[in-house]
Structures are given as C-alpha cells and as structure tokens.
Amino acid sequence: MKKSIIKSTGMFVPHNVITNHDLEKMIDTSDEWIKQRTGIEQRHWIDGATGASDLGFEASKIALENAGWTAKDLDFIIFATLSPDIMFPGSGCLLQAKLGLDSTPALDIRQQCTGFLYGLATADAYIKSGLASKILLVGGEVHSSGLDKTTRGRDITVIFGDGAAALCIEGVETNKDAGVLSSALHADGNLASALMTELPASRLPCRFPADIPHDDPRYFPVMDGPAIFKKAVRLLPKVIKESLEKAQIGLDEIDLIIPHQANMRINQALGQFLKLDDHKIFHNIQKYGNTTAASIPIALHEAMEQGRIGKSGDVVLFTGLGAGLTWGSIIYKFL
C-alpha cells in the first residue's frame, strides 16, 4: 500500500499587517486586552479585492515549485476554507483554473478550523485507495472582508487573519513506517450555534430578505468563547490520546505538536494538561491570528523552515477544534 508523503509546503499571507495598535484606532479595544486573552499581536488582512483562491494560488505555486512538480502533475485538488471567494462554485475549482488546468478534479472542504485535518485524512484515503497519486491540499481564508469592524464585533474581529498554505502530497511505495500513521476525526452538530455565521442562509424563504439590513449582526461571525474554550481543553486531549492509540505510539515519541492556532491560552492549557514542555508545541498565532483552515499548514510550513520538524523519522501531531463543532488529530511521520 502506498504511503501519503508530504513532498513540500508553501504559504502566503497578504502584505498588509494589522497590529493590535491599528485595531485600537478602529474599535474599543487594547493591545494588552488582545494579547492577554488570545496571544495575538498582529494579523495579515487583504487590501483590495482578493479571494481565498487567490491566496491559495500563491501558496500553491510555492509548494509546487518546492516539490519540483507542475500543476499538470496533479491528480486531485482539495481546498479547505470557510470563506470561499463566492457562494458557489467552490474555491477549489477557481484555484484549478488559476493553475491553468481544465479537467483535474477539485473538492472543497467546509470544516472550518479542522479543514486541514479533514483534508489530510481525505487525501490519505484517496492515495491509499489508489484513486490519486499526487494531491494538492490547500487551506485558504479571507476573514477580514467578513468581520464586523465595530466595537460590537470586537471580540471576533481581533482574532482572525487572512492567509493560505499548501501541501504537495504524493503516494509513495515504501516499506518504511512513514506518512499518515493515524487519524481521529469527530463532529457534534448540536453545538453549531456556538461558533457560526448565520446569513446568508438557504433555510430562509429568501437568502437575502428585503427587510434584513446588511449590517444585521447575523451576517458576521458569532462565538460563545467560554464554551469553545471549555470544549477544546476537554476534547483535544481525548482525541490526541485516540490518535496515539491508533498509531500505537506514545506521546513521548511525538517530536512536535502543531495545534490549530485559535487561541494561545487553549494551546498552553493543552500543553499543561499533557505535561509537555512548551517547546514541544508550536505557536505562531502571535504573528497571524486565527487563519482557520490555513493555520495548521502555515504552522507546519514555518516549523519545517525553522528546522523544528521535517527530518526522516520525525513525528508530528496535528490537532484542532472549531466550528461544527468539529475536532480531530492526525499523526504524521516524515519519510
């Protein structure tokens, strides 16, 4: 059976940096308040008409070049996002066209903060089943154009950033213990309202009712922060344990944990619960904020560039929880 091997990564964030001090001029908040509650110091926001597939395209070009591939080598494209360029068709198809392709299958995954986890598990399944050999997995988000940049929406606005990252994943015949060692994915739709954007909504008689003003708060993300925090610190250790048991390895065999970059406090609490030294958990939320489906692959790209992970035999654990609610954990071993 072929193993799903990460051949390369690439990332791209807009050049427009928004610091906490910049937000102080826009809404009633403070640098101290944001850092204390989230760990975020800055984030990148688009400047002009830019979609998730545009950011994904830039990241994909880097990943393809690093892999020594051309777009025509791809068998499949998976695009994870909660902020598609348009309502439909999906950003995966838009990216496919930007890459100069006209028949390569493309799939969008709408699993929000766990989009990368679901995407990597899907890519692994396609490779192991023989349906694909070379896959481009992209996580891309443009949050800034959908945020309530008033004091009413400050708790959400300060958190999110724009960005994208891409992985080239190849099916490789090898007897070595490598690739995706295990995956554990879960969802609980009963908690959908804890983190959601309600409008536009197909469940309404009209998605854009004439009597709903476009500054209606239902057009913007809402979050029950305390509820999400409690779920994350309870469910993430459980799903990590599940993935370790599936892979039949111990936590001490993990070289680096790369969690979804949602909140520094959540990731620090996770480390404390697992009794890990801080250097075993990768953090970069301070630079980018929460980039949702892009956060784990952006962190992976940076961790590999810094030499924290990526050598043959290195084992990395990805984990995250987000809207849906969805949560999961994947263990990967470098070939």
Q: Determine what percent of the chain is predicted with pLDDT higher than 90.
A: 93
pLDDT tens for each residue of 114-171: 999 999 999 999 999 999 999 999 999 999 999 999 999 999 999 999 999 999 999 9
Nearest Cα neighbor of 143 from 129, 125, 131, 161 is: 161
Determine the pLDDT at residue 93. Answer: 98
pLDDT tens for each residue of 279-327: 999 999 999 999 999 999 999 999 999 999 999 999 999 999 999 999 9
pLDDT tens for each residue of 205-229: 888 878 888 788 888 999 999 999 9
Determine the pLDDT at residue 214. Answer: 78
For the ranges 10-19, 46-55, 198-207, 240-249, the lowest mean pLDDT is seen at 198-207
Determine the pLDDT at residue 209. Answer: 78
Of 93, 260, 263, 301, the catalytic one is 260
What count of other Cβ atoms lies within 10 Å of the Cβ of residue 277?
A: 7
Reported confidence tier of residue 65, pLDDT bands at 50, 70, 90: very high
pLDDT tens for each residue of 166-209: 999 999 999 999 999 999 999 999 999 999 999 888 998 888 87
Claim: this prediction has a pTM higher than 0.75: yes
Whether 143 is catalytic is no
**Cα–Cα distance, 56 to 58 (Å, whole number):** 5
- On average, the pLDDT of the chain sits at 96
Question: 76 and 107 in contact (C-beta within 8 Å)?
Answer: yes
Question: 124 and 115 in contact (C-beta within 8 Å)?
Answer: no
Determine the pLDDT at residue 208. Answer: 80
**Cα–Cα distance, 37 to 168 (Å, whole number):** 35
Whether residue 23 is preceded by a cis peptide bond, meaning omega within 30 degrees of 0, is: no
Of 113, 263, 267, 301, the catalytic one is 113
pLDDT tens for each residue of 99-110: 999 999 999 999
Nearest Cα neighbor of 103 from 72, 63, 61 is: 72
Of 143, 267, 290, 301, the catalytic one is 290
How far is the CA of 168 from the CAs of 24, 67, 116, in angstroms?
39, 7, 13
Whether 93 is catalytic is no
**Cα–Cα distance, 128 to 145 (Å, whole number):** 38
Q: Determine what percent of the chain is predicted with pLDDT higher than 70.
A: 100
Whether 267 is catalytic is no
Residue environment code for 203-219, b if the CB has 16+ CB neighbours within 10 A, otherwise e: eeeeeeeeeeeeeeeeb
Determine the pLDDT at residue 319. Answer: 98
